[in-house]
Structure 1
Amino acid sequence: MARAKRRPATPETQATVSHAAETCPNCTTESSASFNQFEKENWIQCNINACKTWYHWRCVSAEPPSFLSEDEKKDYTIDKIDKWYCKPCMDKDPSRVITLKAPARKSDRKRNYQDYASLNLGLASDPNRWMRMLENKAFKQDTFKRMQGSDVTVEWLEEEEDAMTEPIVVEKPDGLGMKMPPSTFSVEDVAELVGEESPVEVIDVATQSASPGWTLGKWADYIELEPEAREKIWNVISLEITGTKVGDLVLPPKLVRDLDWVDNFWPSTRKGKGHAYPKVQLYCLMGVASAWTDWHVDFAGSSVYYHILRGSKVFYFIKPTSANLAAYERWSGTELQSSWLGDLVPEVTKVVLTAGNTMIIPSGWIHAVYTPEDTIVFGGNFLHSYSMPMQLKIRKIENATQVPKKFRFPLFSKLCWYVGDKYLRDLKTPAGASYPPRVLTSLLALAEFLVSEIRILERGSDQAKKEVRDQIPSDRVKDPAAVARELRWRVRLAVGNASDDEGSSAVKTNGVGIKRKRTAEEEERPRFKNFKPRQWDNVIEDAQEGEARIINAPKPSDNDETWKERWVEWTNGAVDGDSAGEVEVKSRTETIVRIRRTGEGLERQRVERVVESWEWH
């Protein structure tokens, strides 16, 4: 869409306005003398790429196109321009003609958006009741990190243990590696580029429920109303724009693209027209002044990037501790939902975002959002390999609170299978693969989830089996049981846990798992079809006796079963119980060193084990 462009006299351009005669080619001594430095000046830019010169609208509007009628010339304004060319460019090519936009939509629709259904049901119809809940509430001071865009990288995520565990704010988009529409982009632009007849889900702020029958054209009409003329407050928070002309103008931050499972694991051949895949990466949110979105967690615990293009937002955050998530689960879908969730948790953090700010919200954070002024936001959701335990925890809450399928992360299980299959392939390469501890923890949770899906296939009802089977991508995963269990085994090996099956190789005593050492025959036996364990080229074992020492310690009592747990945590002087006695402690250090050649060179593994024997005198 070719549009006339305006350069408003914002604070950043005041200097340009005050020296207008130096920047507009059409300025004259008389016209520049008439400028008032306290008034805003509209600018228009030539549409020719080789020119792109800016002019004051007042300096060029005196010559309207000749094809306009006299009445139209009187109403010749910058808002009516579609394509505009400066006089030098039109002189070079007489075929260039200034064109106007098509007449604005004139709708006979009555702008009475009264929700009679809600009134008949006796539901609250005052959107301001949400803000009244905030009166006299105490909020924790915002201490979330403010970061430079260039520092928000995968390296940051790998090097800092607390990275992506709480929201961060990037005040300017520089360095984030993302693309956004210009700040002048409007709701009218969204309607024109996506299509005015395109349906859009609109939320009635008063009831927090969807209002049917809306299109983007109708929404643009509503936004054009002055705030005092809006009989109700509505909100748009779920317009997904993938594959649209608006979507072409948006690119998520580079960190998001580096982490996003849909970007990195969903086959590119199974995206686009004709294919079902998770379209959750590009959302346009359009809220009006006084809009409110009640407490929620993004579906499947997905993380979020959130960029304020125009306007501002106020976020209220609750940290996803186990206790807070339990409170959220009790609150969701019950009569408690009409109350302030913040009263059920220790603290709520308030964050104010303004135009140009970008926020990244990690998995599981509970939040509510207030819109102080008409605002346009672009953002998206993403699952990633650093937060699978939390992602699964939120999915469990969704199951417990019976969240409808419409509001779930689309094709969640199928995406998990694609991810698990790719990680397994990487782990099976001759050189293997190494991952940060947080990723290994996340992969172990992913593997356990896939194994739980296999158990449903093996033991579940016919309907449950069908639902699981439909989510397994047969184009990649030919033997889902083998994929799930081998992934779990290989990840366990990577984190130092040799147990690989579902109970036979581990014995539980008083709830504490004790690994059973595998026999030599078991070590040689392939555990998976076509799997051959990698052999070590040399293994050296050594044992050294340490010096005996005498300490005072309480002797375990035959009548006290709790000594088993207490002695696991033993440090000198840390165990209460029977009277202390003199005990001789002998130690032995066993060392195993293994080496083998790899594709890159050499791998060396050293395992050291200290065994102590205690004897009371």
Structure 2
Amino acid sequence: MAMAAAPLYCVCRQSYDVSRFMIECDICNDWFHGSCVQVEEHHAVDIDVYHCPKCDVQHGPSLMKKRNNWHRHDYTEPDDGSRPVQAGTSVFVRELQNRTFPSADEIMVQMQGHQVTQKYLEKQGFRYPITVPKLDGLGLKLPPSSFSVRDVEEYVGGDKIVDVIDVARQADSKMKLREFVKYYYKPYRPKVLNVISLEFSDTKMAELVVVPDIAQKMSWVENYWPDDSFFPKPFVQKYCLMGVKDSYTDFHIDFGGTSVWYHVLWGEKIFYLIKPTQANLALYEAWSSSPNQSEVFFGDKVDKCYKCVVPQGTTVLIPTGWIHAVLTSQDCMAFGGNFLHNLNIGMQLRCYEMERRLKTPDLFKFPYFEAICWYVAKNLLETLKELREDNCQPPAYLTEGVKALITALKNWLKREVTEPASEVPDHIRPNRLIKELTKEIRYLEEEQQSGAGGSKPMKSQGSGGCPLTRSTLDRASHHARRTARRLRHHHHHHHAPKTPSNLEILELHTRQVLKRLEVGPFEEVRVLTHYHLPHAALFFERVNSDLRKGTAVYSDISDSESEGRCSTQVTNRTSSPKSPVSPSHGGRHVRKECRAELSQRIQENKNFMDSQSSGSNSSEAWGDQSPSRAASSPLCLDPSPGTDYQYCETTLSPPLHPSKRSAPNTPPISNQATKGKRPKKGMATTKQRLGKILKLSRNNHFLL
């Protein structure tokens, strides 16, 4: 029987594509791509009754909605004078421009570019916004001030889909960059459209912009993100913002508590700034989750909201957590970028947790925020160890930051039991890392107490013996890059094919059993669930005596990694590397008690190996599998000696390129960061691998 053909739509007669905006004709009820019938997504909301090109011949043009007010997001609401003004509407913008605010001069730190250094910020802190009137000395390179919106189109490409905000409705839609450029140059603009989330790192325009030195040197992503990370590197450093006069963005905190650099190439912006005190953050969270948020000007709810005018050629740096709104007082082009850093770790984490509580969609959040925190924790552990070896006291911001990080990492691990999406990267042993960081902090606190008691104190940062910026943190930054490099240089030693030994046969059998059960590689030996226990248990029992007869048991598993009950994980996934699945659905964690079942299964399977060992030819008994063929089986049992415990690669494809604004139906974007990734092979011998599993079995611990 022939399959029914997929329904076809539009004048182009194509099947439905979820990534393209469509509109329905109210006469013939057929659906049309907006781009095929010249209807932009933001324009569609103004149409009351839509007539497609075929139907408008007979029925006339589409009927438009009638405007009844200028102060509500829904301008068709009748204006009875009882409804409050909503943010972004023309009435709101006019009222905002007529208000007076305390000047930001009270809080802004005015500096010259060459003064904005890592050393300065480490010493003075980065708690207040900085304004730099001239470009000189920042290391910031930009196109000339003659660079136009048309030039952006030329460098980025007219087909680039951009997120556009309809300011009067405070609503997102998508359009091609060329359509926005056409709109921008119209002599009369029927509405206010604003582009604030065009990230151009993956375009030719990226070559025209070099971010400020300070953002480059302090950035977590630049310093700590390994080149071989399974997750794609976050692109949040190069945004081009194109706003027309009267554009307005309501109060917000930049994602993940990132700090921001911001430069006005031409035009003017006005920032409304609120300090991130405990009280203000609590008020902000309540306001953000209130049903009438758009009707309440958040600046009225706090003790002080500062007004900061940013003219052409000026750069501002906004620190972690500052709550701000932005008004575009005249047509404007600006460049900006976001970065996480070590100076305000606690505040960054607080902002991230607030985003979680507010159920902020992923596309509004810093991409892979938790993953970068794990990378940072691993590197800061090395920094603390090096400082201790040099008998140096770390700066207070680092100690406090690490404490906040430990608390967050512990909470995320606990949450992983009930929530599936894991962002613990490869090469990281989470429990051990937390344990070692806690140890370093405890050691520091003991040193401080003994120092207060009169014994020889540690040298403090900034004293002659311990210059933090030039020596320790530069070394830490170098160490971070070295660690990132080291993590990608564990290569498998290839040996000539040989007849498998008994130990290898045992391992191959276990792998084949797991493969038949379609268990995918998620994390090392965590995949041994109660489904696999019969063979796994026997496997341990039979090999135990062999290994005790003189084979040193190899294991890189610390006690901290095998804490707690006997727990296991199973991955709910069977797709191949070429069939990507969203990470949010991968790696469902199933916890099971397994001690009793293990001993029971040992008894049931006692005769298994005896029946197998009677085979005359071991390679025939195992089909055509060889040790090298088995290397691609789902169970990873081969960590390199002396290296950190590694998670096995999964086939989960990461989400696409990050964006500041929501992006339903995002068009697919190729991401180089995930291409060609294969699991890393270790160098352990079969005996060592089996020894590791054996040790786990003796301790009744499978969870690494």
Query: Which TM-score band applies after superposition, normalised by the shorter structure?
Result: 0.5 to 0.7
Maintained 8 Å contact 2:73/2:170: no
Q: Work out whether residues 393 and 458 of structure 2, in 8 Å CA contact, stay in contact via their aligned partners in 1.
A: no
**Corresponding residue for residue 155 of structure 1:** 119
Cα distance in 2 between the residues matched to 1:327 and 1:595: 41
Letter in 2 for 1:154: Q
- Report what 1:204 is aligned to: 166
Q: Which is worse superposed, 311-320 or 432-441?
A: 432-441
- More helix by percentage: 2
SS at match of 2:330: coil
- C-alpha displacement of 1:497: 7.7
Output the CA distance in 2 between the equivalents of 1:328 and 1:318: 10
1:332 pairs with 2:288:
yes
Q: Are 1:473 and 2:429 matched, yes or no?
A: no
CA distance 1:422–1:590, change in 2 (3 Å):
closer
- Cα gap change, 1:433/1:179 in structure 2, threshold over 3 Å: closer, same or farther? farther
2:365, 2:313 → 1: CA distance?
Answer: 29
Please report how far the alpha carbon of residue 223 of structure 1 lies from its aligned counterpart in structure 2 after TM superposition. 1.1
**1:219 match:** 180
**1:182–1:136 CA distance, 2 compared to 1 (3 A):** closer
Q: SS state of the match for residue 423, structure 1?
A: helix
**Which is greater in Rg?**
1
Distance 1:452 1:204 in 2: 38
Q: Does 1:247 align with 2:217?
A: no
Partner of 2:10: none
TM-score using structure 1 length? 0.59
Q: Which amino acid aligns with 2:430?
A: P
Q: Which residue of 1 aligns with 2:256?
A: 300
Q: Match of 1:211, SS?
A: strand
| 3-state SS of 1:309 partner | strand
Structure 1 pair 135–354 and aligned structure 2 pair: CA distance change class (3 A): closer
1:318 match: 274
- Matching residue's letter, 2:145: S
- Distance change in 2, residues 1:593/1:145 (3 Å): closer
Q: Which residue of 1 aligns with 2:339?
A: 382
TM-score of the pair, normalised by structure 2: 0.52
Question: What does residue 413 of structure 1 align with?
Answer: 370
Show the 5 A alignment for 1:391-410: 391-410=348-367
Residue 372 of structure 2 aligns to a residue in which SS? helix
Structure 1 residues 385-421: Cα deviation after superposition (integer angstroms, max 9, x where no partner): 0111111111122122111111011000000001111
For 2:441, give the aligned amino acid: V
CA contact (8 A) 1:113 1:232 kept: no
Indicate the residue corresponding to 1:285 in structure 2.
Answer: 241
Tell me if the contact between 1:385 and 1:443 (Cα under 8 Å) persists in the aligned partners: no
- Cα deviation, residue 222, structure 1: 1.1
Give the 5 Å matches for 1:138-537.
138-143=100-105, 144-160=108-124, 163-212=125-174, 214-226=175-187, 229-270=188-229, 276-334=232-290, 335-429=292-386, 430-431=389-390, 434-457=393-416, 460-461=417-418, 464=419, 466-467=420-421, 470-474=422-426, 476-477=427-428, 479-496=429-446
Q: Which has the higher relative contact order, 1 or 2, with Cα contacts under 8 A spaced 6 or more apart?
A: 2
CA contact (8 A) 1:304 1:361 kept: yes
Shift of the alpha carbon at 1:333? Answer: 3.7
Quote the Cα distance in structure 1 between the aligned partners of 2:288 and 2:454. 54
Please provide the CA RMSD for this pair.
3.0
Q: The residue matched to 1:355 in structure 2 has which SS?
A: coil
* Offset at residue 447 of structure 1 (A): 2.0
Specify the code of the residue in structure 2 equivalent to 1:329: E
Q: Give deviations 1:565-600, integer Å, cap 9, x for gaps.
A: xxxxxxxxxxxxxxxxxxxxxxxx96444899xxxx
Question: Structure 1 residues 375, 316: closer, same or farther in 2, change over 3 A?
Answer: same
- For residues 423-452 of structure 1, the C-alpha deviation after alignment (integer angstroms, 9 at most, x for no partner) is 112333444765321122112211221122
Contact kept, 8 Å, 2:141 with 2:211, in 1: the verdict is: yes
Give secondary structure in 1 for the equivalent of 2:249.
strand
The answer (yes or no) to whether the contact 1:286–1:377 under 8 Å persists in 2 is yes
> 2: CA distance between counterparts of 1:124 and 1:242?
36
Q: Is the 8 A contact 1:316 1:369 kept in 2?
A: yes
* Alpha-carbon distance in 2 for matches of 1:368, 1:343: 13
* Residue identity (%): 37
Q: CA deviation at 1:113?
A: 3.8
Letter in 1 for 2:424: I
Amino acid at match of 1:156: Y
Q: 1:124 Cα deviation (Å)?
A: 3.5
Q: How many residues align?
A: 389
User: Residue 183 and residue 497 in structure 1: after superposition, are their counterparts in 2 closer, same or farther (change >3 A)?
Assistant: same
2:492 corresponds to: none
Decide whether aligned partners of structure 1 residues 495 and 359 sit closer, same or farther in structure 2, where only a CA change above 3 A counts: farther
Evaluate the alpha carbon distance shift between residue 146 and residue 591 of structure 1 in structure 2; reply closer, same or farther with a 3 A threshold: closer
